[in-house]
Amino acid sequence: MNLKELSNLLGLSQTTISRALNGYPEVNEETRARVLKAAEETGYRPNRVARRLATGKVGSLGIVMPITPEQPVDIHFAEFQSGLADECLKHDFHFVIMPAEREQEEQAIRDLVSSGSIDGYYIAYMRERDPRIAMAKSLPLPFVVHGRSMNIAEDYPYLDVDNEAAFSEATEHLLELGHQRFAMLNGPADLDFAQRRRQGIEKALRARGLALDPALVSSTVMTDGHGFQHMARFLERKDPPTAVLCASTVLALGAVRAIRQAGLEVGADISLIAHDDDLHLLRPEHFSTPLSTTRSSIRDAGRRVAERLIAAVNGEEIDAQQRELWRAELILRASTAMAPA
């Protein structure tokens, strides 16, 4: 059922029906009621693709889904997407997912934009001096960056967690508990959030005249396998760390396994703080030893990004709010304790 058929059915022009349905004033209320009723009965829904061609809007956001052989599905991505979906549902938006390998990410964004199937998009997994930002600014659609990119002079709309502050704070807490030897299970070294988290630790240590031993830092995709593997490696050293900071509860999952397998106890022998994106599946309080965390909901971030994008699509520009930096909350549980003597 399309407009033309409906117009034949009602003996009205397509114009009138379109206007009746879209709430324009120049149509008799009686006629409008008749149209609305017929639309309801026939189940008529305007073709969004045709509407997009006519108006330029489709009611859809775009996202590029990173595909890597090593990490088939990123739970952080899924959780973010879940927030995005919540917000889209509210506004009758849907979203388009464009899978892309890392090398094709820029091309994927271009394709998505020129495909005409979205009104706005977000980009994530930012790296230093990320070229995608300049590119996005040159494209005609609104966008929001999730995260940030270091050493970019220009302004751009983003939403990020203050990773540096979060990890500084966590480190300071461990220092106060007497820890001196720190390890870090970090995300991929080229990603902005990983760099900032590391800087946060280094900053806090430097203030006490300490330094982070590069041999006790791993930078990997955030899977529990990597968490296990590198934690095990750290523990094999003759001077193992007494405190570990993890960039994700997923890494912590593996780390805890390694610690226990080495016959050690989380908390008593080794203190651990993980960044908690509030992953629904991996609650820090459900670990065998409940985990101390720096917490910031990635799902809320997804909601907020969608909210901003939809506002931008609807023409509600809010330049004042372009840059948004969320503070993570330090939550102490049983995985942090005084350093062993």
Partner DNA sequence: AAGCGTCTCCAAAGCGCTTTGGAGACAAAC
Partner DNA sequence: GTTTGTCTCCAAAGCGCTTTGGAGACGCTT
Give the residues lining the site for DNA (CB under 7 A).
Answer: 2-4, 11-16, 18-19, 21-22, 26-29, 31, 44, 46-47, 50-51, 53-55, 116
CA pair distance 78, 280, nearest whole angstrom: 10
The residues pairing with 292 across neighbouring beta strands, listed in sequence order, are 273
According to the binding rule CB under 8 A, does residue 78 interact with a copy of itself? Answer: yes
CA 174 distance to own-chain centroid: 27
Contact pick of 11, 23, 25, 43 for a copy of itself (by CB under 8 A): 43
Contact pick of 3, 7, 52, 269 for a copy of itself (by CB under 8 A): 52
The closest alpha carbon to 198, from 129, 268, 134, 128, belongs to: 128
- Site mask for a copy of itself (CB under 8 A), range 271-300, x = bound: ---------xxxx--x-x----------x-
- Site mask for a copy of itself (CB under 8 A), range 116-155, x = bound: xx--------------------------------------
The nearer residue to DNA, 26 or 103, going by C-beta atoms, is 26
4 binds, among DNA, a copy of itself, none (CB under 5 to 8 A by kind): DNA
CB atoms within 10 A of CB 48: 14
For 291, which DSSP code? P
79 binds, among a copy of itself, DNA, none (CB under 5 to 8 A by kind): a copy of itself
CA 12 distance to own-chain centroid: 48
CA pair distance 313, 319, nearest whole angstrom: 14
314 binds, among DNA, a copy of itself, none (CB under 5 to 8 A by kind): none
Q: Shortest approach of DNA to residue 23 CB, angstroms?
A: 10
Residue range at the interface with a copy of itself (CB under 8 A); choices 77-85, 155-163, 197-205, 317-325: 77-85
Residues composing the chain: 341
CA pair distance 191, 212, nearest whole angstrom: 19
Which residue is associated with the tokens 């509030």?
Answer: 278
Taking phi over 0 as left and psi of -120 to 50 as alpha, with beta for the rest, 38 belongs to alpha
Contact 241, 181 (CB under 8 A): yes
* Per-residue tokens: 68: 């890597």
Q: Shortest approach of DNA to residue 47 CB, angstroms?
A: 4
Task: Please state whether beta strands 329-331 and 182-186 pair in parallel, antiparallel, or not at all (unpaired).
Answer: unpaired
55 binds, among DNA, a copy of itself, none (CB under 5 to 8 A by kind): DNA
95 binds, among a copy of itself, DNA, none (CB under 5 to 8 A by kind): a copy of itself
Residue range at the interface with a copy of itself (CB under 8 A); choices 72-80, 124-132, 199-207, 262-270: 72-80
Q: DSSP E strands: which ranges in 265-331? A: 271-276, 292-295, 323-326, 329-331
CA pair distance 287, 84, nearest whole angstrom: 28
Residues making contact with a copy of itself (CB under 8 A): 43, 45, 47-50, 52-53, 58, 60, 65, 67, 71-73, 75, 77-79, 81-83, 85-86, 88-89, 94-101, 110-112, 114-117, 223-224, 228, 250, 254, 257, 260, 280-283, 286, 288, 299
